[in-house]
Amino acid sequence: MPPPLQQVADYVLTPGVRSTPRFLLTLTLAVAAPFARAHEAASEMVAAANRFLGALSADQKKEATYALTDAERENWNFVPIERHGLPLKKMSTEQAALGIALLRTGLSSSGVAKASAIMQLEFVLKELENDKPAGRRNPTLYFVTVFGEPSGDKSWGWRFEGHHMSFNFTVVDGKHVFFAPAFMGTNPAEVRQGPRKGERVLKDEEDLGLALINSLDDGQKKVAIFAPKALTEIVTKNDKRVGPLSPAGISASQLKPAQREKLLTLVKVYLGRARPELAEEAFAKITAAGLDTITFAWAGGLDRTQQTYYRIQGPTFLIEFDNSQGNGNHIHSTFRDYKGDFGNDLLARHYANEHGKK
């Protein structure tokens, strides 16, 4: 039987509110262990994916799985549309718990907390919109999709996705883990009424961006601010491939030490949605490409009463943040890896070397 909405929200999404199954608690503690070796992420993903798939019926498994080479793997989105994969609403409570356990193998504790809160914002939207159209806002409309065969020595991938959330993980040769594209959004950005009044799921992303732009002097702001009005959406949307955007904004080399630290802290907030060793690997790649080359660009107002947009980019990555919809109370934010999105660069080399194809 499909799990009731509130049961999923309270029982599966927020362990600790109610009793948590022993297997889920074990996985939670394992994933939370700091600074695990990178290959442990891959092996835990394999184990969790196989546990999840093993609990499904034949029909459910058919719905939840695709070939690694299927075009569906890059068909990602963050708006409330029908998706391909197996939604939580079609799972039993135990199956849904195993799907969430897979998500936990890829996210940090803060990432899990944000993901859970985003899913539960569907209840807030359901009330604000008087459930019209009926059933559109639903915390069980999050889909688990597995691409390829989870294996300790093969390439495969998985996705956890629904409204305002998309995590796309790719494991190459059973050991290299990529976690982009990664998207998180919130509507409302700040809950302004009801029992959750004051809640801001993406508070750090917003406040640290504002702190950085307001730490710049007038001359620095002239370089960093490229438009007086915020953009109406992140530029890259749900594009399958992205590259550096322009204008570049102000570079880290033009910042004072304290400002530079604010910039790097903000970058780490986005990377920190993933489990610690994956975040550390990503930051090491960013560092190797040159921290001084990272740029910060801003559009819009300079406080939370106004609509805002910023982007951070370097030779290997792009971060976008937009809070313009809903009169500045609806956030979209994303992390993209130019060569690492969907593991494409390494997968292409793998296919060329091992299979004679791209």
In this structure, the number of other CB atoms found within 10 A of the CB of residue 234 comes to 25
d(CA 19, CA 307): 41
Claim: this prediction has a pTM higher than 0.85: yes
- φ, ψ of residue 246 to 5 degrees: the values are -125, 155
Residues 6+ away with beta carbon under 8 Å from 321: 205, 206, 209, 234, 308, 309, 310, 311, 331, 332, 333
Query: Which of 223, 214, 245 lies closest to 336 in space, CA to CA?
Result: 245
Residues 6+ away with beta carbon under 8 Å from 286: 267, 294, 314, 316, 317
With tokens 């092996």, the residue in question is: 43
Kind plus residue range of the DSSP H or E element containing 299: strand 295-300
Q: Residue 16's pLDDT is what?
A: 35
Q: Where are the domains of the chain?
A: 5-180, 203-339
Q: pLDDT of the chain along its 358 residues, tens only? A: 455 444 544 444 443 333 333 333 333 333 334 334 557 999 999 999 999 999 999 999 999 999 999 999 999 999 999 899 999 999 999 999 999 999 999 999 999 999 999 999 999 999 999 988 888 899 999 999 999 999 999 999 999 999 999 999 999 999 999 999 999 999 999 999 999 999 999 999 999 999 999 999 999 999 999 999 999 999 999 999 999 999 889 999 999 999 999 999 999 999 999 999 999 999 999 999 999 999 999 999 999 999 999 999 999 999 999 999 999 999 999 999 999 999 998 888 877 776 555 4
With tokens 């937009």, the residue in question is: 322
